[in-house]
Structure formats: structure tokens, C-alpha cells
Amino acid sequence: MSKSAVIVGVDGSESSDQAVVWAANTARLMGRELVVVGVYEPQIGGYAGSAMAYTGDLITMLQKAVVDTVAASVQLARETAPAVQVSSRVVAGTPTSVLNDESADAALVVVGSRGRGAVKGLIAGSVSTGVAAHAASPVAVIAHTPGTGPVVVGIDGSEISDHALTAAFEQASLRGTGLTVVHTWTDLATNTFGGLGITDDLVQLSRDEAHKLVADRVTAHATDYPDVKVSTIVAADGPAHQLLTAAGEGAQLLVLGSRGRGGFTGLLLGSVSQTVLHHAPSPVLIVKTPVG
């Protein structure tokens, strides 16, 4: 497998099939190989870190079921994007650990939002959340069929949000759509500023600085993507609310950095990312800080 491969984890669920279709189309747009990965667990998890191994016959049955699932997913990928080179792997282990290991040599890891046995209504399950949190590569979590609107990205001026913005421009260009850049400069209600002793002049200064930050970051990236039409949202609001609202307008993809500062502090592992992953109406792409 090459570093340029897109990896998709599968388990035969409806969510998994959505991830395969999205991954195949994305691999086609990016001109990359697609690797379908299935995982079977050779032991039963127990309490207090204990585990019990399955019998040999049961392991064989589990392995065969995964092999069959992977074969069906490969077929779906080839039907979706016939020009894409598709290969597959069946690995023993836990899905989260296997996909995190695979991510070390991947350009992108794609997972469904929920798999078999997930609690009904839970959009971001333990596997998708664990991979999004710990994978070395960017991770796409597929909760819904993408819309036909723009790519949406959240930025805060940090280094990782610059990487997210670059990825968002690239994805918008590949998909032939526009880009909506979202920045929140405070999550305080503006009508509370006076009570906190914050003057109108200071509020306007903060607002102006936020608009300048967005304009500067967009200008720095836009010259490389003249085909992408950009719109911006700069608001005094919670970042999750603004991102979900923007994505709710039929977004093809919602892009986030793995961590940030200011209004996006702790974006990947904190409340903002959890809210976005659990409620996003579109596929979500988590961008990581490049290694090296």
C-alpha cells in the first residue's frame, strides 16, 4: 500500500456502505488507490482489562464473515468508481487500533459514523470517534450522504486551522464547489458585553480583528485555488452552532482541524468536536497536524 492510498474501514452496516461510496468517489477525485479494510476480533473483551479468546472454530467463522463483508465492499467500491484501483485487507484486532495503525501509511482514513450494534440514534460511535481522535492521517467520518452545496471549514488562526483551510480549499476544488469559511470570535452573547464592562469600542475592535484574520487567511490560500468561490461567516457565537448551521445548508463536507485555540480550543477531543461529530448533517473531515 502506498502513502497516497485512501483507506476505508468496513463492517457491512448501512453506515459502512455509505463510507465505501464516499471513499471510492473521493479516491477517484484525488487520483488515489482505495484500500478496503475489515477487522475481526479474536477475543471477547471482559471487565477490568481481562479478555477471553474465542475458540478456533468461532474465529474461523468470524474471519470468513469479515472476508465476505470486505469482498462485498470491494465490489461496491468498483461499481461506484470503476477507474479507481481497489485492494483489500482483513486484519485481526480491534477496529479502532487496526485503523489507527493503518493510518500511519495512509493519505486519508474513512469510517462510517456507526456500525453494527451501535445504540440507535448515536451518530458518532466509539470506533469513528476513536479513529478521529488518534489516527495519524486525516479522517473522514461519514454520517450522511453529502449535499450539493459548498465545503464548510472552521478556522481560528492557529497552525492546524491553516492546514484545515488548505484541505478545505483542495476538497472544494476537487468537488467543483464553493467554500464557506467560518470563524467565531467569542461565544458570549453581545448583549452581555456592557454588563461585563466591555465597551463598544473594544467590541468593535475585536470584531474588526476577527474579520481581518479571516480575510488574511483566505487571501493567503485563495491564490492557489482561483476556481474556488469563497464566502465567509464571522460571528459572535459558539463555534459548533455556527459550523452546524453552515453545514446544514446542504454542505458536501465539513472540515475541522484536530485542535485549535480561541473559540476552537480542544476542537478534536472537546465539546465542540463531539457536538459536531454527533450532529453534523454532512460528512466530516478531521485534519491533523502534519508530522515532520
Q: Which of 254, 249, 238, 262 is nearest to 188 (CA)?
A: 238
Using alpha carbons, list the distances in angstroms from residue 29 to 83, 91, 98.
10, 27, 26
Q: Are 111 and 142 in contact (CB under 8 A)?
A: yes
H-helix or E-strand spanning residue 277: helix 271-279
Q: Are 59 and 42 in contact (CB under 8 A)?
A: yes
Fold adopted by 151-287: Rossmann fold (3.40.50)
Render pLDDT for 181-224 as a digit per residue (tens, 0 to 9).
Answer: 999 877 655 555 545 556 666 777 878 899 999 999 999 999 99
143 CB-side CA count, 13 A: 22
Do 6-142 and 151-287 come out as alike in CATH topology?
A: yes
Domain boundaries, the chain: 6-142, 151-287
Where do we find the cell 472552521?
154
List the CATH code of the domain at 6-142: 3.40.50.620
What one-character DSSP code corresponds to residue 54? P
Given pLDDT bands bounded at 50, 70 and 90, which one contains residue 264?
A: very low
Render pLDDT for 122-136 as a digit per residue (tens, 0 to 9).
Answer: 344 678 888 888 899
